[in-house]
Amino acid sequence: MLDAALWVITNIGAAFYNTGYAILNPGTWLDWSDPVAKVRFIYYGGSVEFFFVVFTTFLVLTGIGFWKRTFLWGLVRGLEGFANALGRFAAWAGLLMVLQQIMIVFLQRIFRVSEITLGPFGTVFTRDLSWYSEELKLYNAMIVCLCVSYTFVQGGHVRVDLVYAAVSHRTKRVIDMLGSILFMMPVMVLTWMYAWFFMWRHLVTPKISASDNLDLLERKARILKWNVETIGFSPNGFDAYFLFKVLIVAFCGCVFLQACAFFWRSYLEFVEGEASAGKYLDKDKLGDAEAERAAEIH
């Protein structure tokens, strides 16, 4: 137990040095013309060092927020505003998905068209109709991955409530804080660790493994090259499935940031009392009283 505590404290201390070094030497991990810098970016993106940089940043921001609540409210408003803006933008993919599906049905069933050619800026883009049909899954994935935090802010996720509704305001806030710390954050950290290397295994060759140490990856850098996955499930089908892997990583980042915002909001509402519930919360107006009541229930 003592060794584990010492390991955590040591890594928290090292996080300050690692953050400063990364900021002052961006070329060592952002200059992707250098293959060694690229493998460093890949390695550290799913490393223990990166976890403790994020964890220490969360602790520092939380500590400052405990001292100055207006700072913490600013973080909450910023993160919730980001979630709302991203979600409201990505939600338009739903309309695009419906319009594209209608277009596919008309072209395929009525006009018997087999392919579509687009060339709005002088470059011709020709794909089989089945390509556009399979692309609809990408729009659906965008809605799921990029609107998840927005839906959380809006209170749109379905809940299974056993005791939450019957307890007091401050007990609810304690439950929310524990939920974000014990469930949302750890699950997103684990998912990120798998998704990060899963994504890069479909972007570069030779394959990158989570078990590879930095020395091994730097040796691999000599033969590292881009190898973006362009294999479809059908001969003429959608061939950009690597985007789904990118969206999984984006999903993890969005939910983790929302977990931080939710923890901070729950703490502030716990400290400031029931009058602060929903403070600064930017919720959509449905324009229907019954629909808004149903949204509040769920």
CB-CB neighbours of 174 under 10 Å: 14
Q: What angle do CA 197, 151, 253 make, to 5 degrees?
A: 25
Query: Are the beta carbons of 289 and 203 closer than 8 angstroms?
Result: no
Containing structural domain, residue 8 = 2-297
Q: What is the pLDDT of residues 10-62, one digit of tens each?
A: 999 999 999 999 999 999 999 998 999 999 999 999 999 999 999 999 999 99
Report the first-to-last Cα separation within the chain, whole angstroms: 42
Q: d(Cα 111, Cα 199) in Å, to the nearest integer?
A: 39
Count: domains in the chain: 1
Q: pTM, whole model, 2 decimals? A: 0.92
Q: What is the pLDDT of residues 69-78, one digit of tens each?
A: 999 999 999 9
CA distances from 217 to 88, 204, 207, 209 (A): 39, 12, 10, 9
Spell out the residues 6+ positions from residue 46 whose beta carbon is closer than 8 angstroms to its own: 192, 193, 196, 197, 210
pLDDT band at 125 (very low <50, low <70, confident <90, very high): confident
Position 266 scores a pLDDT of 95
Indicate the burial class of 266 (C-beta count within 10 angstroms; 0-12, 13-18, 19 or more): buried
